[in-house]
């Protein structure tokens, strides 16, 4: 196991006292954390909105859209305040500002592709999850190497 995998398993252990029941559930949890890490690593842990420390990775298309849940293009790093009170704010004006902001950081082609992918039904096998896990791990490693 690589040091990065050890690091991620330590986070899982800290967050979840009980070990996930199935291999797939554990892989999904691993990918959740690796995805969040990859999104922040790409931005050097800076909030996309204010440049402060990013503690959260925000899904542009909600996590419920499983097909884009672990797609790095679907993630934006935010500080706690911008994630909770801005990106997830239902106020009409703030929502409009947020949508404009997303359009300024993701080109139309990427957003269109993500939209299509997000609305497809996802069927991930264990082999698929291992593939996603390895993609995320190598992405993080590459980012850390600089």
* DSSP state at residue 12: H
Position 137 contacts Zn ion (CB under 5 A): no
Position 31 contacts Zn ion (CB under 5 A): no
Residue 41 Cβ, how far from Zn ion at the closest point, in Å?
17
Q: Give the residue, chosen from 32, 34, 36, 49, that forms a contact with Zn ion under the rule CB under 5 A.
A: 49
DSSP string, 16-76: -SSPPSSHHHHHHHHHHHHHHHHHHHHTTTB-TTT-SB--EEEESS-TT-GGGTT-GGGEE
| φ/ψ (deg, to 5) at 56 | -125, 150
User: Which parts of 70-89 interact with Zn ion (CB under 5 A)?
Assistant: 79, 82
Position 133 contacts Zn ion (CB under 5 A): no
Pick the closer one to Zn ion by CB: 70 or 98: 98
Residue 134 Cβ, how far from Zn ion at the closest point, in Å?
31
Position 53 contacts Zn ion (CB under 5 A): no
Residue 12 and residue 29 in contact, taking contact as beta carbons nearer than 8 Å: yes
- Interface residues with Zn ion (CB under 5 A) are 47, 49-50, 52, 79, 82
């Amino acid at each position: 196991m690589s040091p990065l995998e050890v690091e991620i398993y330590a986070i899982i252990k800290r967050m979840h006292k009980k070990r996930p029941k199935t291999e797939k559930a554990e892989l999904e949890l691993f990918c959740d954390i690796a995805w969040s890490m990859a999104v922040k690593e790409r931005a050097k842990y800076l909030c996309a909105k204010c440049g402060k420390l990013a503690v959260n990775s925000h899904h542009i298309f909600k996590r419920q859209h499983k097909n884009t849940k672990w797609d790095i293009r679907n993630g934006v790093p935010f500080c706690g305040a911008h994630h909770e009170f801005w990106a997830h704010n239902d106020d009409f004006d703030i929502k409009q500002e947020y949508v404009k902001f997303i359009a300024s950081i993701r080109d139309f082609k990427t957003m269109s592709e993500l939209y299509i992918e997000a609305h497809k039904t996802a069927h991930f096998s264990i082999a698929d999850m291992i593939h996603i896990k390895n993609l995320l791990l190598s992405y993080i490693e590459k980012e850390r190497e600089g």
